[in-house]
Amino acid sequence: MTFEFDGEKYKRASDQQKAWGKGVICELELSGHERILDLGCGDGVLTAELAKHVPDGFVLGIDASENMIATARKDHAGANLRFERQDINTMGFGSEFDVVFSNATLHWIKDHKRLLRNVFESLKDRGIVRFQFASDGNCSNLLRIVRDVMSESPYIDAFREFDWPWYMPTCREYQTLVDEVPFTETKVWCTNADRYFESSEAMTRWIDQPSLVPFLGWIAESDRQGFRDAVVERMIDETQQDDGTCFETFRRINVWARK
C-alpha cells in the first residue's frame, strides 16, 4: 500500500527528518564516486545532499508519491541526480549500487523480508546499506490517541477493514531479519530522538503531514475534519508543557550492513 503526500507541506513540516538524515549522511564516509539509491526520497532534500557528496557518482531517489517526486524534481536538479516514481515494495535493481540509503521511510514498508532481499540484490559486492527509520516506541502519544479516536463514534465503522500502515520493530526483531540475508557484516542499533516541538502549531504541521495521511482516506469526507481536529486537540491536551512546547517520543532503528 502506498499513499499520496503533499510535497510542499512536507517541506515545511520535516525539519526533524532532515536533521536526522543529514546526520546519517555525514557518517557515510563517501569517497565521491559512489552510486547511491535513496529509498523513499520524499521532497528530495536528502537525495540532493547525497549528490553533493558524490560529484563523480550518481544518486537515484525513488518514491511512490507523485506529488513528492514532482516537488523533488522542481527543487533539485543535477547531472548526477535523478528522481523516479517507484514503489519500494516492487523495486527490482540488480547489483547497481554502492550504497542503499533510506531515512524516515521504511516504517511505511510492511514486508521487510522482501525489502532486505531486494536491497541485497540491488547492491554491488561490498556495497553498504544504511537505513534509519521508526522503531518500537516511536510516537507513543500520537499512536495511542489515533487508535482511541479510531475506535470511537462516528469513525469506528470506517476503520473495520483498516490495515495499520506502519511497521516499527524492536532492534532484536530487526537484527533477526537482517541475519537471514547473506550480508558479510551487519549492525542494528536504536537511538532516542525524543523531541519537544517548539509550539502546538509546529506539532500540528507534523500531525497533518505526513502522520494523518494514511487515515483520512478511510473516513467519509464530511467526517475528516472532525477526526483530524479530535487527534490534534487531544495531542495538544496531553503533550503540551507549561512553556508551550509539545513533547513526543521519536525512537529510531539504525541499520548498517555490507554485502
Ligand X SMILES: C[S@@+](CC[C@H](N)C(=O)[O-])C[C@H]1O[C@@H](n2cnc3c(N)ncnc32)[C@H](O)[C@@H]1O
Distance of closest approach, residue 38 Cβ to ligand X, in angstroms: 7
Cell numbers representing residue 115 in the block: 525489502
CB of 45 or CB of 155, closer to ligand X: 45
CB of 224 to ligand X, least distance (A): 20
Cell of 228: 483530524
In whole angstroms, give the CA distance from residue 178 to residue 63: 23
Query: CA 83 to CA 72: how far, in whole Å?
Result: 7
Which C-beta is closer to ligand X: that of 104 or that of 150?
104
Per-residue interface string for the shown chain with ligand X, residues 25-44, x marking contact by CB under 6 A:
---------------xxx--
What residues are paired with 195 via a beta bridge?
248
Site for ligand X contains 132 (CB under 6 A)? no
- Considering only 37, 48, 60, 64, the residue that binds ligand X (CB under 6 A) is 64
> Nearest-CB residue to ligand X?
42
Q: Which of residues 50, 104, 139, 219 is near ligand X by CB under 6 A?
A: 104
Q: Least Å distance between CB 28 and ligand X?
A: 14
Among 6, 13, 17, 235, binds ligand X (CB under 6 A): 17
Would you count residue 65 as binding ligand X (CB under 6 A)? yes
Dihedral sign for Cα 26, 28, 68, 171, please: negative
- Number of Cβ within a 10 Å radius of residue 205: 18
Is 21 an interacting residue with respect to ligand X (CB under 6 A)? Answer: yes
Closest of 110, 112, 88 to residue 38, by C-alpha: 88
Cβ atoms of 137 and 169 within 8 Å: the answer is no
